[in-house]
Amino acid sequence: MAAFFICVGQALLPVRAQAGVPAPHHLVLEANPALPFPFLGRFGTIEIHVYPHGIRGETIWLNGFIRNDAKEITVENPLGRMYTEVPVTSVGSVVRRIAGAMPGSFQFSSPPPVLGPVPGTVHGIAANRYRIVYGPEAWIDLWTTSALGEAPQLRAIALQIVNGISPMTAQAAATIPGMPIYVELNFSHFRKLPLMKVKTLTTDAAGEDEALKVGRIFMHAPLLDSLWK
């Protein structure tokens, strides 16, 4: 009987990293940032593939990938068959350039407070909810997990993107541990709006090698601006 409950418990647990080595997994996240941030509309829905050794993002316009131990994102233009490298640390400035002048509502003199954690699950994955609070009726809920390893580049890139929109919010988010897997916006014009959610999770890493390398017949472009064309 004890063996039965052990087997059931193992079946219900999400993929876990053991002894510092990420267990095989393929987490697919779906991000839709264009509604609250129209300047990101050119990317459409963003599909993020998280593997034990790196991540890949795919949009209707550009794709990109980075391994956990790398410092640069490889950005691809599938239509132009070109690619280039972009330092993770420059993503925030790229977002600011695309965004232009942001409204004052995104600017704060200090980081907003963070409440939590509140334990729960997201798509069957053990997670904690943290709430970045801007006011009584304004907050962002950020669910993170440690059940799938660290995904350091997903976290680093997400913080860079937020920093390009609201630096003080990025400072608040940087204090939240774990891998982000669900983000929900709650403001006067956007009630319970999911910015990012889990699409699928499988307990294998099939396709990881292909996802984390440049496709065939791609030419290197020296500047990111070459990929905008």
Give the tens place of pLDDT for each residue, 39-48: 888 888 999 9
Domains contained in the chain, CATH given: 26-228 (2.50.20)
Distance CA 2, CA 13 (A): 17
CA 211 to chain CA mean position, Å: 16
| Residue 210 tokens, joined | 């292909």
Does residue 217 surpass a pLDDT of 60? yes
The fraction of the chain above a pLDDT of 90, given in percent, is 67
pLDDT tens sequence across 122-164: 999 999 999 999 999 999 999 999 999 989 999 999 999 999 9
Mean pLDDT of the chain: 87
Does residue 16 surpass a pLDDT of 80? no
Contact between residue 219 and residue 67 where contact means Cβ atoms under 8 Å apart: no
Q: What pLDDT score was predicted for residue 84?
A: 94
Query: What does pTM read for this prediction?
Result: 0.86
Long-range contact pairs involving 41-50 (C-beta distance under 8 Å, separation at least 24): 47/199, 48/154, 48/196, 49/211, 50/25, 50/26, 50/148, 50/151, 50/154, 50/179
Supply angle C-alpha 24, 26, 31, rounded to 5: 150
Q: What pLDDT score was predicted for residue 145?
A: 97
pLDDT tens sequence across 44-75: 899 999 999 999 999 998 999 999 999 999 99
